[in-house]
Amino acid sequence: MRILVVDDSEDARDIMAVTLSSGGYEDLTFATSGQEGLDRLAEGGSGPDGAFDLVLLDVMMPGMDGIEVCARIRADARHQDLPILMVSALSDSESLSQAFIAGANDYVTKPIHRLELLARVRSIARLRGERDLRRAREAELLETGRKPEAGSRAGTLTLVDPLTGLLGWEIFEALVQRAPAADAPRFGALAWQIDDLDRLRVRDGDQAARDLIKSTARVLQALPARIGDHLAHYDDGIFVAFARNCTEADLAELAARARSGVAGTGTTLSVGTVISDGREQTPRDVVADAIAAAERAAEDGGDRVVTRTALLVP
């Protein structure tokens, strides 16, 4: 696994080198600034041969900071699937929120904790490996004239959703499942469903529907985010956000802002909001409930919000 480490601090680079090497990751390239990181990435290329498999990117750097570097990487279509792991001091919460908006996949905090860093890297390595195996299998089937089987959603591993630039669903689920209950006893989820998307597709064509999905994604990306919050495109015009340490009021505000944000596009949203109730609920359960609530809102006529409490009413 080839890793690019971008950090202006020599001490931080040394610590990451020792930590990564102790976990068996020794193919490391280092950059001391944002621009040097972009240069190293360009030199390394993109693709299965000689490409970097992961970028460890410091948030706070002089000149071009990590947020701008992240945005520039994501602006290059060759690097849409390249995992970016932000490295941030605990006080960088505002900057880190902006980094997620710019396209970061995950983060670790300084001071670096060996087990945490290696766990994040191994998780990314596993997901990337599964994705590469799937792509190789699809290529083999195409060469033999057979179509890849239309498997379940779980069979498709994408680090970044190619249409919206948001997190791929499998990465989103992995991040959500890692939410520690002790640190975030009150977590919640929102799901937004674009109303009448199928009708628009029939009337104006598939490209119009794709454009609406992308514009809606931009509205949702602009919503306030905090460390540990994640946003993904679940399915055709359905978006899901997971929030830690939140309240019903927090979710209601995000729902209202999103509905207001798309008002100028001539569309409306059906929204589902769910918050954990302190019982034995997993983050995945809460996310699934939010999606079901959004679908219920759409069935009830759309352009409305359904909460989990309302969902439980017959």
Q: What angle do CA 248, 169, 113 make, to 5 degrees?
A: 80
User: In this predicted structure, what is the pLDDT of residue 36?
Assistant: 95
Dist. CA 94–CA 59, nearest whole Å: 11
Local confidence band at 143 (pLDDT 50, 70, 90 cut-offs)? low
State which H helix or E strand residue 231 sits in.
strand 230-235
Q: Which CATH number fits domain 161-311: 3.30.390.10, 3.30.70.270, 3.40.50.2300, 3.10.129.10?
A: 3.30.70.270
Residue linked to tokens 């909001």: 273
DSSP state of 112: P
Instruction: Enumerate the domain spans of the chain.
Output: 2-124, 161-311
The structure tokens listed for 102 are: 């710019």
Dist. CA 265–CA 179, nearest whole Å: 34
**Domains 2-124 and 161-311 fall in the same CATH topology:** no
Class of the CATH-defined domain 2-124? alpha beta
User: In this predicted structure, what is the pLDDT of residue 13?
Assistant: 95
pLDDT, mean over the chain: 81
Strand order in the sheet with 2-6: 27-31, 2-6, 54-58, 84-89, 106-110
The 8 Å CB, 24+ separation contacts for 118-122 are 118/19, 118/20, 118/22, 118/23, 120/85, 121/1, 121/3, 121/20, 121/23, 121/25, 121/54, 121/85, 122/23
| pLDDT tens-digit readout, 255-290 | 999 999 998 878 999 999 998 866 667 888 889 899
| pLDDT tens-digit readout, 82-96 | 889 989 876 555 666
Most confident of 152-161, 171-180, 219-228: 219-228
| pLDDT tens-digit readout, 172-202 | 887 777 655 444 567 899 999 999 998 899 8
The structure tokens listed for 122 are: 């191994």
Dist. CA 70–CA 286, nearest whole Å: 30
